[in-house]
Structure 1
Amino acid sequence: MSDFEELANRKVSAHLSATYSAMVAVCLALPLPVTLPTGTVSNLEGVPAVRRLMELTLDQPMPETMKAHVFAAAAFWLGAMDCYGLLIREEEWQVSRAHSAAANLLMADGHLEDLAAWLADQE
């Protein structure tokens, strides 16, 4: 794997982690708090938890647009995880996958920011 590919993988991995941490914080502030795994979280724990978050979002007592932000953030994060899963397999590495993962994470971040702003206004 080239230095560029390794750097791209590290950056995507760090962004995945940062976005997941933001999701953890926002989920704890939901009207019906949702606790996602924390600490050293593997994809074997994180992915199913985020999938479950998508299901639980439907029962949150909040406006549909806010539910959509939770749902979209989770979906974009999962999409980024899928891209990352391919990136770390050397034979599957494509620069377009690195860009797709980053784009998914930027979208997830935007939805989490909108949701966090709404939650802050509710306090």
Structure 2
Amino acid sequence: MSDEPERQIKALTGALMEVYETLRLICLHLPVPIQLPRGPEYDLNTLVPAVSRLIEIIGDQPMREDEQSLVWGSALNWTAAAKLYSRYLLTGGDFVSRLELELLIQTAGEGLIIYLDGPDSTTQE
């Protein structure tokens, strides 16, 4: 049973970084490419300010507003998750905080998937 908290932290870390890496790669292919920090080692003290800056400037990209909104929302959810993740590690985490983290990470990832699926996925018929 003592391995469960470690497994949960490892899963949260992996999910958080997977979404970050997807966001980083998307940013490289924006109309005006944006370079976010790249691994192999990731430090949230570097990543959070970089993604926060992305949130501030994504509206300047020459792209459709719905695409901007997907990247903006995913980046915002990722940033909130990263900040909560840091507090989660410091406090030992609790059940509700873990669920909040999972929700933020999932929401960020879903926005990026919709963005990658293209314009047809964001319009209703």
Q: TM-score, normalised on structure 2? A: 0.87
| 2:49 is the counterpart of 1:48 | yes
> How many pairs are equivalent?
117
C-alpha separation in 1, matches of 2:76 and 2:5: 25
Structure 2 unaligned segments of length 5 or more: list them: 120-125
Which residue does the alignment assign to 2:97?
A: 97
Q: Cα RMSD over matched residues? A: 1.4
Which residue does the alignment assign to 1:68?
A: 69
Query: How far apart are residue 4 of structure 1 and its match?
Result: 2.0
Which residue does the alignment assign to 1:15?
A: 15
Letter in structure 2 aligned against 1:11: A
Letter in structure 2 aligned against 1:5: P
C-alpha separation in 2, matches of 1:12 and 1:78: 14
Query: How far apart are residue 35 of structure 1 and its match?
Result: 0.6
Query: How far apart are residue 75 of structure 1 and its match?
Result: 0.7
Letter in structure 1 aligned against 2:118: W
Letter in structure 1 aligned against 2:9: N
Which residue does the alignment assign to 1:83?
A: 84
Structure 1 unaligned segments of length 5 or more: list them: none
Q: TM-score, normalised on structure 1? A: 0.88
Query: How far apart are residue 3 of structure 1 and its match?
Result: 2.5
Which residue does the alignment assign to 1:4?
A: 4
Is the contact made by 1:83 and 1:98 (CA closer than 8 Å) also made in structure 2? Answer: no
Bigger RCO (CA 8 Å, 6+ sep): 1
Query: How far apart are residue 32 of structure 1 and its match?
Result: 1.0
Aligned-partner SS, 1:69 = helix
- What percent of counterpart residues are identical? 27
| 2:99 is the counterpart of 1:111 | no
